[in-house]
Amino acid sequence: MPPRVSTRSPLRLSPAEREEISRGLLVGESLRRIADRLERAPSTVSRDVAVNGGRRRYRAWRAEAAASRRARRPKAAKLVRSPRLRREVERLLDERWSPQQIAHRLRLDHPDDQEMRVSHETIYQSLFVQARGALRKELTDCLRSGRARRRPHRRSAGVGELTDMVLISERPAEVADRAVPGHWEGDLIIGKASRSAIGTLVERQTRYVVLVALPGGRSAELVRDALAERILTLPEQLRRTLTWDRGKEMAEHVRFTIDTGVQVYFCDPRSPWQRASNENTNGLLRQYFPKGTDLSTHDQRHLDKVARQLNGRPRQSLGWMKPSEALAKVVASTD
């Protein structure tokens, strides 16, 4: 049998690279300059120096020997070693957070606790490899990548010419740059055979979600009344504008504006990207409300529970704050 040939990951520093690091440190070069010469990320060089004695005690041979020992040593998965971390990850996966959301939020919530740190790659590996003692198998169902991609639906029964429309091109600039809160995007997600629907509203600055039950159908009058009822529960400073597509369900938009003081702006035809926040949210909602199901079975109480879950997930676009936190901050600053 031929001898086993060990292979080195291209991500791992070579002995020659470690010699170059050692020489650079001896002549007082910065870590960034050494990294540039090696065409490596500065963090790679910095980490290798830090774990191998620092700038004064770093030696190439010692660093290489330590790296070889670490590569050979079997490690238990971090989620196996730390039951406390595993329980928290499982709880957040049950809340339908993504591994990336979990990893970043743990850093925010536990800034000084190394035990509560885990990369999103480790969470994915634990889910898909299913090492004994790691995450429960059923949690793979909570991965957002498990849902079908949302495709635009045809509105043959709901599209028509609306009167007195104010177009998106006339919308104030403050709406587009998300500088001021209180500007919303809205839409309907449609159920089985286009016979049921749920109204969705997303606040542009904070990504805060409001869901609206429509148990009686999606006629213009019912949609107007249901949206107005929900909008009027919000603080006045959060009731500025609403951007919608050109579905017939908004035929009563003038009356809606009179009732709420919220001006409605309409998107250009076939331009869902003009409501990007709402489109993204509608995709997330399909985890809870799959296509081809009767949406009229979900009452407002259940929709509020789903909205709380969505508003409790940290968002990368918010610096890993939760929409609920971002909205509370906005309300507090405008009181």
Cβ atoms 79, 122 nearer than 8 A: yes
Contacts of 241 (CB under 8 A, 6+ apart): 171, 172, 175, 182, 183, 184, 262, 263, 264, 265
pLDDT in tens, 128-158: 544 334 455 555 555 554 433 333 333 333 4
Does position 73 have pLDDT exceeding 80, yes or no? no
Does position 249 have pLDDT exceeding 90, yes or no? yes
Q: What span, in angstroms and rounded, lies between the C-alpha atoms of 209 and 201?
A: 6
Task: Read off the pLDDT band of 76 (50, 70, 90).
Answer: low
What spatial distance separates the first Cα and last Cα of the chain, rounded to whole Å?
A: 77
Q: What span, in angstroms and rounded, lies between the C-alpha atoms of 40 and 56?
A: 21
> How do the domains of the chain map onto residue ranges?
15-72, 78-146, 168-334
Cβ atoms 223, 187 nearer than 8 A: no
Architecture in CATH for domain 168-334? 2-Layer Sandwich (3.30)
Task: Name the most confidently modeled range: 21-35, 42-56, 62-76, 159-173.
Answer: 21-35
Q: Which residues of 202-214 are buried (b: 16+ CB within 10 A; e: fewer)?
A: bbbbbbbbbbbbb
Determine the pLDDT at residue 9: 59
Q: For the whole model, what pTM was predicted?
A: 0.60
What is the average per-residue pLDDT within 237-266? 91
Cα–Cα–Cα angle for 256, 257, 259, rounded to 5 degrees: 65
* Average pLDDT taken over every residue of the chain: 82
Does position 116 have pLDDT exceeding 50, yes or no? yes
Task: Name the most confidently modeled range: 84-93, 119-128, 166-175, 298-307.
Answer: 298-307
Determine the pLDDT at residue 329: 92
What is the average per-residue pLDDT within 279-295? 86
